[in-house]
Amino acid sequence: MSPTKKQLILQRINLIIKEFNFNNRKQKNPKECPCYLQNKPCHNISPENLNCFFCYCPNYDLTKEEGGCKINNVNGKWFFNEKLPQGKIWDCSDCEIPHTEEFVRKHLMKLFNLQ
C-alpha cells in the first residue's frame, strides 16, 4: 500500500472516530437514537469515550438463530422468553468492548491491514 493511501485511510479512521463519538452524534443527530434524545448512553462508558460506530457489535454471532458472542465476553447473558424461536437470545447490552474509541480504531486498522 502506498504511503499516500495509508495516510488517507488513517485520516478517515480518525474522522469516523470523531464523527461517531456519542456527544458529537447527540449534538448533530439528536433524533437518530433514543439514547441521544434522553442524553443517556446505552452502555456504562462516559459519553466522552463512548463511540457509536459499532452500534451493532461486530462480535455478535449471527450464525446461530439465538445469537451469541464470538469473543465469549463474560458481560453477556442469555435473555429467555418462550416466544423466541429458540427460547432465548444473546443479550450483550452490558458489554462495553466494541463501543470504545480504542476498539473502533483497532478494528478498522485490522480491516484495512494497517496493523
**Three-state DSSP state, 92:** coil
The parts of the chain modelled with pLDDT lower than 50 are none
Q: From CA 33, how far away is CA 89, in angstroms rounded?
A: 23
Q: Looking at residue 85, what is its pLDDT?
A: 83
Number of helices followed by number of strands (H, E) in the chain: 4, 2
Q: In the 8-state DSSP scheme, what is residue 88? A: E
pTM: 0.77
Q: Looking at residue 83, what is its pLDDT?
A: 85
